[in-house]
Amino acid sequence: MFALTNVDVVVFSRGLVRYRPLLTAAPVEVLESLATSRPEQVRERAWLVIYYGIILTSLPLDMVDVEKTRSRLRANLWLAFNDTRLLLEPSDPNIQALAFLACHVYPFTTPSLCWMLLSNACRMLRALAVNQRVADPETKERRIILFWYLNSLEKAMMLIFPWPGAFHRTMYNNIPLPTLTQILPSQPQVGTDKRASLFGAHWMQMSFVMSKVMTDIWLALDEEDVRAQRAAKQALDAWYREAMQVLEAAALAETPLLDPAGARSVQFGLAYTRVQYHGAEIVLTRGSSQESSFCRDESLKMLRLLEDLVANGEEPYIGVTWQMLYFPWAPFLVLFGSIMSSGAAGRTFENEQALSAMELLPTYFRNMSLRYVEAKRLEKMAAATVQRARSILHPEETLPTIGSSKGEQVPEMHSLPTPSLSTHDAGSAPSYASTAHRGGAARQERATEDSGMPGAGPWLWGDMDMLPQAWPSGFEDSLFADPVFDWFAWEGQT
């Protein structure tokens, strides 16, 4: 096992506070065993999983052999996880360990593993019965807060990975929302002095309310109920008005009392709330032809907010790792679809605006790659897509290849398989006839002949060195018909 140090134990204890209310204080005997480098004496393996997860996410980026250290810590984490009780026995430490791994240990989890771990954690909490009558008041209150926190995580994942969740909407009827007084001791602390924040309590409570709205959004889209979608949009708008009124007032009152780090955290919390709102609006309206202009405007607003979302790993109001990395793809592809559907006559002011906003995403991922390893790959994907859009609006420009050495010849690319996406139709998507007219249908029929070529598979970014002019003219039709990525298929191809 990787050697433990007293410094690591301090980082572990600080991380338990950093990730409240998901994580709680560790028992004294666990801390003693870790401090004396005797991890084998920790009886509940969940605490070892949490320990290695916190150390893994807290590694300094400039340390020597950081990748080697990450690899050894991942091996230790898997070794600690090698206990079926972690997945089968409902307990508070097991729930914490599974949800923490799923949502915050970015060097460890993949999209599919994230979904399975978080779903299992939610089912364990259901098995424990959140409002269990025999539980003592302290345990009951902690589990109520944990339920709403897990619900906010799960519903955020449902809008990214469109799969059903484990918490049904009827559970809200029996589980009350926590009050500000209950939330205040459980929230993450802000600033270098790690003080409790009234803004943070309001922010967390509003995120709990938002999870109910996201449930309505998912159900309305899943059932393809237009009336329910309109009701969900009204509920979302009402939530946003209330949330920003409360949070801006709390920020105005509290910011003068905070140090610079705490003040930045408050501003980050406000920006993240705005991004969540615009992202949910896009998810809700992207499949409607009547809402295409509105969806495009929301996409512009959301991408322009990305520069306010770059933060270090200590940011208390940062969201789920996968949400931070993948939520911007929906507006990105909405704008991409707007450009691609315009054809040769697409050099309009609106499309130039869309291209400028799209160009913000590779920069966002480049900044995020300092903290998230996955962002490096996503940056290349975004940059390739931006080049493709630019080649449509500015065909006279000669664009360089991505990652190719100077003078390297790029082989001709005849076809690429289309991504595997859901089947909701978007109003801006061109018809099948227009696709066939441009030759896209014929190219797609030849996809099987080129299945062995670089980049073959469900994802069009398999070969990042191809010129955008070499991209087929028909593949993007399915891409922006409904900008929901099948991240589980993408995971298997990268």
User: What DSSP string describes 339-382?
Assistant: HHTTGGG--SHHHHHHHHHHTHHHHHHHHHTTT-THHHHHHHHH
Q: How many other CB atoms are there within 10 angstroms of residue 447's CB atom? A: 17
Cβ-based neighbours of 138, under 8 Å, separated by 6 or more: none
Tell me the whole-structure pTM to 2 decimals: 0.79
Question: For every residue of 147-210, which 3-state class applies, written as one string?
Answer: HHHHHHHHHHHHHHCCCCCCCCHHHHHCCCCCCHHHHHHHCCCECCCCECCHHHHHHHHHHHHH
Whole-number Å distance between alpha carbons of 236 and 246: 15
**Residue 281 gets which letter from DSSP?**
H
Whole-number Å distance between alpha carbons of 337 and 354: 10
User: What DSSP string describes 441-486?
Assistant: HHHHHTGGGGTTSTT-SS-TTS-TTS-GGGS-SSTHHHHHHS----
Cα 429 versus chain centre, distance: 26
User: What DSSP string describes 94-113?
Assistant: HHHHHHHHHHH-TTT--HHH
Whole-number Å distance between alpha carbons of 392 and 170: 48
Residue 98 in tokens = 């599974």
**Tell me, what amino acid is at 158?**
M
Q: Is the peptide bond before 21 cis (omega within 30 degrees of 0)?
A: yes
Residue 95 in tokens = 């729930």
Cβ-based neighbours of 49, under 8 Å, separated by 6 or more: 77, 80, 81, 86, 97, 100, 101
User: What pLDDT, on a 0 to 100 scale, did the predictor assign at position 330?
Assistant: 85
Whole-number Å distance between alpha carbons of 238 and 214: 13
**Residue 40 gets which letter from DSSP?**
G
User: What DSSP string describes 402-425?
Assistant: SSPPTTPPPPP----PPP----PP
Beta bridge partners of 190: 195
Whole-number Å distance between alpha carbons of 219 and 215: 6
How many CA within 13 A on the CB side of residue 372? 27
Whole-number Å distance between alpha carbons of 124 and 111: 20
Whole-number Å distance between alpha carbons of 327 and 157: 9
Q: How many other CB atoms are there within 10 angstroms of residue 34's CB atom? A: 23
Tens digits of pLDDT across the chain (494 residues): 555 555 688 888 888 888 888 888 899 999 988 888 888 888 899 999 999 888 888 777 667 777 788 888 888 888 888 888 898 999 999 999 999 988 888 766 777 788 889 999 999 998 887 766 667 888 888 899 999 999 998 998 888 777 788 888 888 778 889 999 889 887 776 766 666 788 989 999 999 999 999 999 988 988 888 899 999 999 999 999 999 999 999 999 999 988 888 888 889 899 999 999 999 999 888 877 788 889 999 999 999 999 888 766 567 777 677 778 878 888 998 898 888 877 656 678 888 999 999 999 999 998 887 777 778 888 888 999 899 888 888 877 755 544 444 444 433 333 333 333 333 333 333 322 233 333 333 333 333 333 332 222 233 333 333 334 434 344 444 444 444 566 666 565 55
* Vertex 472 angle, CA 470 and 478, to 5°: 145
Are 402 and 380 in contact, with CB atoms under 8 Å apart?
A: yes
Quote the longest CA-to-CA distance of the chain: 73
Cβ-based neighbours of 26, under 8 Å, separated by 6 or more: 12, 13, 16, 47, 50
Whole-number Å distance between alpha carbons of 328 and 160: 10
